[in-house]
Amino acid sequence: MDVATHHTLEADSIWLAYQEQKILQNIYIKLETGHITGLLGRNGTGKSCLMRMIFGTLRGESQSVRVNGDYISHPYLQAGLISYLPQHNFLPKQLRVKEVCQLYHVDFEAVCEHFEALQQYRNTRIGDLSTGNVRLIGTLLVVLLPVSFTLLDEPFAALSPLAVEQMRKVILGQKPHKGILISDHSYEDVVAMADETYLLVPVGRSIRLKNVHSELAEFGYI
C-alpha cells in the first residue's frame, strides 16, 4: 500500500462475547493516516480485544474492517497495511536483535538513531535482553514497520520516563504517513498525542470524546 497517499481504516459492527458475556458491541472507530487516535478504557473493557479484531487475529461474532471503503477480512494478511504491538513480548527469544530488524525490514541503524544505547545489543539474542529492552525493541520495530496503520497496545509499559519521552517523539515522527491507534494506561500521554480519542465503556461501547478531560471524568475513567 502506498504510504504517501491518504488512507482511512474504519472498524464497525464489532461484536465479541465470551460464554454469553458481552465484551464488545456497538463499536465504531476510525483511523486516518496522519492522525493519532487514542483508545482509553478501564481494565477489562476490551481494548486489547478490539485491537486484535481490527488487526484480524481475533474473530468475534461479527466484525467489519474497511480500508478506504473496501472490506478486508484479515487486515494483517495484507502486506504493508497494518502492524500491531501486543501487551506481552512477541519476539522469539532465540533470534538476535539485528536479525529481527532485518526480518521486519527495519534498519537497525535507524532504530539506534532513536535509542543510541541499543547499538551494543546488535548481536544479542532477544532472550538475553532485559524486560525493558525487549519491550523497547519490540515497540520500536512495530512503530517503524513500513505500514499504513499501526496499533499500539500499551507502548509505554515497562519503559523508563526518559524512554517514554523518546518513544513519544518516535511515534509522532511516524504520524505524517501512518494512522496510529494507541492505548495505554498512561492516559495523559495518550491524550497529549492523540488527534481524537475514543473511550470504551461497559458494556463494550465506544464513545468518541469531544471534550476529553471532562468526559473522561463524567464516564468515571478518571
Binding site for other proteins (CB under 8 A): 55-57, 74, 76-79, 83-84, 86, 88-92, 94-95, 103-105, 141-142, 145
Closest listed residue to residue 33, CA positions, set 191, 146, 165, 141: 146
Q: How far is the CB of 41 from other proteins (least distance, A)?
A: 21
26/73 with CB nearer other proteins: 73
Q: How far apart are CA 90 and CA 173, in angstroms?
A: 24
CA–CA distance, 133 with 214 (Å, rounded to integer): 36
Distance in angstroms (rounded) separating the CA atoms of residues 45 and 218: 17
Q: How far is the CB of 103 from other proteins (least distance, A)?
A: 6
Looking at the DSSP assignment, which residues form a beta bridge with residue 182? 38, 152
In the complex, what is the shortest distance from the CB of residue 215 to other proteins, in angstroms, rounded to a whole number? Answer: 32
86 forms beta bridges with none
- Comparison of 87 and 186: residue with beta carbon closer to other proteins: 87
In the complex with other proteins, the residue whose CB is nearer, 6 or 105, is 105
Q: Kindly tell me which of 130 and 214 has the beta carbon lying closer to other proteins.
A: 130
Q: How far is Cα 190 from Cα 120, in angstroms, rounded to an integer?
A: 30
CB-side exposure of 41: number of CA atoms within 13 Å? 26
Length of the chain: 222
Q: Which is nearer to other proteins, 111 or 199 (CB)?
A: 111
* Least distance in angstroms from the C-beta of 78 to other proteins: 7
Which residues does residue 85 pair with via DSSP β-bridges, in sequence order? 152
Q: Please, which residue, 25 or 154, has the CB nearer to other proteins?
A: 154
- Nearest partner of 167 among 196, 185, 140, 193, judged by Cα: 140
Q: Residue 153 has which C-alpha cell?
A: 497496545
